[in-house]
Amino acid sequence: MNVNKSTQNKITIIIPSKRHDKNLSFCIKKIRQFYNKIKIFVILDKKEYFKKDKNVCLFISGNKSIGYKRNFGVKYCKTDYVCFIDSDAYPVSPWLDQVHETFKKFKRVGAIGGPNLSPPTNNIEKLLVSKSRKFSFVTLYPIVKTKERKIFLIDFLPTSNLILKTKIYKKIGGMYEGLYAGEDISLIRNLRKQDLKIIFNPNIYIYHKDRNFKHFFRQRYIYGSVGLKLFILFPCKESFLLLISSIPFIYLLISPFFILNKFLLIFYLGGLGFLSTFILLYALKINYNKHFLKSLRLTLISIFAPGIGLILSFFLKQHAMKKLYTQK
Write out pLDDT tens, residues 17-57.
999 999 999 999 999 999 999 999 999 999 888 888 899 99
Judge: domain 5-210, CATH 3.90.550.10. yes
61-104 per-position pLDDT tens digit: 998 999 999 999 999 999 999 999 999 999 999 999 989 888 88
d(CA 23, CA 16): 12
Helix and strand numbers, DSSP H then E, in the chain: 15, 11
- For residues 57-76, b (16+ Cβ closer than 10 Å) or e, as one string? eebebeebbbbbbbbbbbee
DSSP 144: G
268-303 per-position pLDDT tens digit: 899 899 999 999 999 999 998 889 999 999 999 999
**Amino acid, single-letter form, for residue 198:** I
DSSP 203: T
d(CA 193, CA 164): 16
233-265 per-position pLDDT tens digit: 999 999 999 999 999 999 999 888 887 777 788
3 state DSSP class of 185: helix
Predicted model pTM:
0.91
d(CA 10, CA 104): 14
d(CA 116, CA 188): 17
Mean pLDDT within 295-320: 90
How high is the mean pLDDT of the chain? 91
Torsion of CA 244, 249, 250, 256, to 10 degrees: 160
Mean pLDDT within 159-180: 93
Bridge-based pairing state of the strands 11-16 and 116-117: unpaired
Residues 88 and 327 sit within 8 Å (Cβ to Cβ)? yes
Residues 217 and 128 sit within 8 Å (Cβ to Cβ)? no
Report residue 324's pLDDT band, with 50, 70 and 90 as the boundaries.
low
d(CA 99, CA 102): 5
Bridge-based pairing state of the strands 39-44 and 11-16: parallel
Q: Which percentage of the chain shows pLDDT scores above 70?
A: 95
Contacts of 22 (CB under 8 A, 6+ apart): none
Q: Does residue 133 have a pLDDT over 80?
A: yes
Bridge-based pairing state of the strands 161-165 and 109-113: antiparallel
Domain ranges of the chain: 5-210, 228-322
